[in-house]
Amino acid sequence: MSVRMIADKTVKIVLFTSAIISIIVVLAIGFFIFRESIEAWTKLGVGEILFGAVWRPGQDQYGILAMIIGSVSVTFGAILLGVPLALGCAIFLAEIAPAGVQAVVRPAVQLLAGIPSVVYGLFGMVILVPLVRNLNVPGNSGYGLLAASIVLAVMILPTIASIAEDAIRAVPENYRHGSLALGATKWQTITKVVLPAGKSGILAGVILGVGRALGETMAMIMVIGNSVIMPKPLSGNPLTYYLSQARTLTGNIAVEINYATGVHESALFATGVVLFGLIMIVNASARWIIRGQKFVEKANEEQVC
């Protein structure tokens, strides 16, 4: 065997090992989180943990339903606020903005992804929370789902915007030409042709945004209030639901793990297992949708030929 061949083989093995290690790391993390949580699942029962409404480790009550609802509510709020913004951003960058404007806007949006989470949290705590507090509803402390949703909406914006932009750019130019040739305006072309064609890529971006939102920790701890309560409207107006304080699954782990021992610690790992499961489902569905899009594109190309 020549030196060149040996070098080639070595590189192959090194690359393969790095790939294997990343798989092992995921499996190992999953395995250890689950192993540490077994004590809680067996001692307390799956139903007691998943559907228990009360979390009071001092009283040996470890229900995480309030945190599941908190996480889902804040993620929903972030999607509601963030997706239109991200989509607008993506359409602007892909379809409308001239190259010079793109060169300013795109790095700015991407910069949002690079800001550390604790900085978002600080901004939320010092600027947003007092703003939210101005809403005159009794019991509104400013800390809660609304402030958290706004912070999170900005945090997931770059993820969704960049994937959606790619998806929109991936729509074949022929589609746009065809639509414009038929007399459609640019706006009609975007809403009736380009967006439907890029739909699954955009959806995949949104779902990855959901994954990011579910996993966000530090910024959430700083603005959501961390109270272990079922969020509920503060007054007769159902919208005040979002003024309620809450706690997320991630926040539950981060806030309490420092001090937890025994079943309490294990219950926090159980929280981690639930979070892991949720994020796996979210990522798997994004993957599934992206794959769906590739099939559609291929089918389209074949038809054209």
Partner 1 sequence: MKSNKKSILLVVSFLLIASLVAACSGTSTPGAPVSDPAADNSTITVSGSTTVQPLAEKLAEAFMTENTGVRIDVQGGGSSVGVKAAGEGTSDIGMASREIKESELAEFPNLEIFVIARDGIAIVAHPDVSISNLTVEQVRDIFSGKVTNWKELGGEDQNIFVVSREEGSGTRGAFEEMVMGEDALITSSAILQPSNGSVRTTVSTTPYSVGYLSFGYLDDTVKSISIDGVAPTEPNAADGSYPIVRPLNMLTNGEPTGNVKAFLDFILSEAGQKLVVEDGYISVK
- DSSP state for residue 234 in the 8-state scheme: S
How far is Cα 247 from Cα 254, in angstroms, rounded to an integer? 11
Residue from 221, 253, 274, 275 binding partner 1 (CB under 8 A)? 221
User: Within 13 A of 298's CA, how many CA atoms are on the CB side?
Assistant: 6
Interaction of residue 139 with partner 1, rule CB under 8 A: yes
Contacting residues for 158 by C-beta, under 8 A, at least 6 apart = 86, 109, 110, 112, 113
Q: Where are the alpha helices (DSSP H) in 135-247?
A: 145-169, 173-181, 186-189, 195-197, 199-215, 218-224
Q: Closer CB to partner 1, residue 13 or residue 38?
A: 13
Is residue 216 near partner 1 by the rule CB under 8 A? Answer: no
Q: Provide, rounded to whole angstroms, the least separation between the CB of residue 274 and partner 1.
A: 18
Query: C-beta of 35: minimal distance to partner 1 in Å?
Result: 8
Q: How many CB atoms lie within 10 A of CB 185?
A: 11
Question: Contact with partner 1 (CB under 8 A): which of 58, 100, 114, 238?
Answer: 58
Quote the tokens at residue 93: 């960058």
Contact between 178 and 304 (Cβ < 8 Å)? no
Cβ at position 228, least distance to partner 1 in Å = 5
CB of residue 77 vs partner 1: minimum separation in angstroms? Answer: 18
Of 49, 81, 125, 128, the one binding partner 1 (CB under 8 A) is 125
Judged by CB under 8 A, which of 158, 225, 270, 273 binds partner 1?
225
Q: How far apart are the first and last CA of the chain?
A: 46
Yes or no: say if 224 and 145 are a contact pair by the CB < 8 Å rule: yes
CB of 124 to partner 1, least distance (A): 12
Strand 55-56 versus strand 61-62 pairing type: antiparallel
CB-based contacts of 251, cutoff 8 Å, min separation 6: 67, 70, 217, 220, 221, 224, 226
Question: Exactly one of 98, 258, 304, 305 binds partner 1 (CB under 8 A); which one?
Answer: 258
| Tokens found for residue 298 | 């291929």
Q: Which stretch binds partner 1 (CB under 8 A): 43-51, 100-108, 133-141, 282-290?
A: 133-141
Note whether 116 binds partner 1 by CB under 8 A: no
Residues 7-46 close enough to bind partner 1 by CB under 8 A: 13, 16-17, 20-21, 24, 27-28, 31-32
59 part of the interface to partner 1, by CB under 8 A: yes
Interface with partner 1 (CB under 8 A): 13, 16-17, 20-21, 24, 27-28, 31-32, 54, 56-59, 125-126, 129-130, 133, 138-139, 141-143, 221-222, 225-229, 245, 247, 254-261, 264
